[in-house]
Amino acid sequence: MTNIKVGVIGGAGYTAGELLRILVNHPNVDIVFVNSSSNAGNPITEVHSGLIGETDLVFTSELPFEKVDALFLCSAHGDSKKFMDENEVPASLKIIDLSTDYRQKRDDHDFVYGLPEMNREEICKASHIANPGCFATAIQLALLPLAAAGLIVDEVHVNAITGSTGAGVKPSSTSHFSWRNNNISIYKAFEHQHLMEIGQSMRRLQDGFDKSINFIPVRGNFARGIYATTYTKCDLSLEDAKKLYKDYYKEAAFTFVTDKNPDMKQVVNTNKGIVYLEKHGDKLLVVSMIDNLLKGASGQAVQNMNLMFGLDEKAGLGLKSIGF
């Protein structure tokens, strides 16, 4: 098989930088162009300095669709739909969108929700993928086995903390170092936009699902990673719950159930999702964690690309955790 030729739209942000870091070392990929109108003509390494010595690519304002097999959309939320509406994108071009624009199933698009732990078969046959959100990925990994078994019988409570890279590359009052360092705060309590896609997945897996998902997002004083704690009432014993989760994820390429209370560094800089269970009275506690830029964004996008093109699902994603 000849290498997949890819293009990237919106190439200057954190997700694009992580995507390029993966793709330049992917054994089955050639990067043809990286589009960024604000950086056109500049070397990619002027923005993504971690790629010095790995690529001589230059940002372009051009859109040579005819030269690529796959297109990654890494623009801001709301811009992907505008891009698709304003450009004549060839029907044969496979597209992976990392924004929120196509995650909700609607009649006006054919994007498949790209969570391999739930939609692997559909992803393999899809032409267009809506990559899940970072919080949504971490929280769904905690809930998918229960929903698939029809066992979410009460409201769900979630607290999840995320690194500053989740706020994007442009600094804001709550993301720059002097505010974020040695600090913590909540935002969008009970109203985070990722709740819509989580609810959609729960309703798909569990008929009649109508329980509240009470989600408190937290800004962390670290750069990357999501650590989520989820609990709900559950009649299963801890042993039966562990069996349910391990059976559900036994074929998953990157999601693992551990018997030892984990820490976030085990997933940072990898495409892994780690899940851990405890039982407290009638409540099941599920700890789940991912790297928000990898399994929560660019790594999962490459995982989806691999599935779409019939490659080894793990191709290019043998990334090392930082450990310490």
The Cα 233–Cα 251 span in angstroms is 27
Task: Answer whether residue 179 shows pLDDT above 90.
Answer: no
Known catalytic membership, residue 124? no
Q: Which domain holds residue 268?
A: 134-290
Q: How many helices (H) and strands (E) does the chain have?
A: 8, 13
Instruction: Calculate the CA 168 to chain-centre distance.
Output: 14
Query: Does residue 323 belong to any structural domain of this protein?
Result: no
Identify whether residues 112 and 230 lie together within a single domain: no
Whether residues 156 and 281 share a domain: the answer is: yes
Is residue 315 in a domain?
no
Model pTM above 0.85: yes
Task: Specify whether the CB–CB gap between 302 and 19 falls below 8 A.
Answer: yes
> Would you place residue 116 in the very low, low, confident or very high pLDDT band (cuts 50, 70, 90)?
very high
The C-alpha torsion from 63 through 67 and 70 to 74, rounded to 10°, is -20
Same domain, 154 and 274: yes
The CATH number covering residue 264 comes to 3.30.360.10
Does 324 score more than 90 pLDDT? no
Query: pLDDT confidence of 323, banded at 50, 70, 90?
Result: confident
Residue of 310, 299, 324 lying closest to 25 (CA atoms) = 299
The per-residue pLDDT for range 189-242, each reduced to its tens digit, is: 999 999 999 999 999 999 999 999 999 999 999 989 999 999 999 999 999 999
Please say whether the beta carbons of 34 and 59 come within 8 A: yes
At 112, the pLDDT band (50, 70, 90 cuts) reads: very high
Q: Which of 74, 124, 134, 234 is catalytic?
A: 134
Return phi, psi of residue 283, to 5°.
Answer: -110, 140
- Helix residue ranges, H only, 152-237: 177-180, 194-205
In a domain, 81, yes or no: yes
We report the CATH number of the domain holding residue 81 as 3.40.50.720
User: What are 234-271's pLDDT values in tens digits?
Assistant: 999 999 999 999 999 999 999 999 999 999 999 999 99
Lookup result for tokens 């003509």: 41
Same domain, 47 and 195: no
